[in-house]
Amino acid sequence: MNAKFSEIINSAQLTLVDFYADWCGPCKMMSPILQEVKTAVKDDAKIIKINVDQHQDLAAEFMVRGVPTLMLFKEGKMLWRQSGVLSAQDLVSLISQHLK
């Protein structure tokens, strides 16, 4: 998984990463929000979900202490990071800002 993850976040395409857990209530709230964001941004950004229980190595590497934690990457650089539930509008706006 790490090699694939590195390949994805190192691409020129914006990538929104959602670190989540199946047992996390707020994480469950993020799923439909992320679907809405994907519909809005289409191919401008990739959205991937990382289960912190299955990928503890990645959670540790990126110091994920709480879930959900969202991060935005482009060309291997973390452009933005925030924990908690965000609205689709906020995420679409964030992605739009980084497309310029």
Supply the residues annotated as catalytic: 24, 27
Q: Specify whether the CB–CB gap between 14 and 95 falls below 8 A.
A: yes
Distances (CA, A) of 76 to 26, 34, 61, 86, 90: 27, 21, 14, 23, 22
CA–centroid distance for 71 within its chain: 5
The percent helix, strand, coil of the chain (3-state, each to 5) is: 45, 25, 25
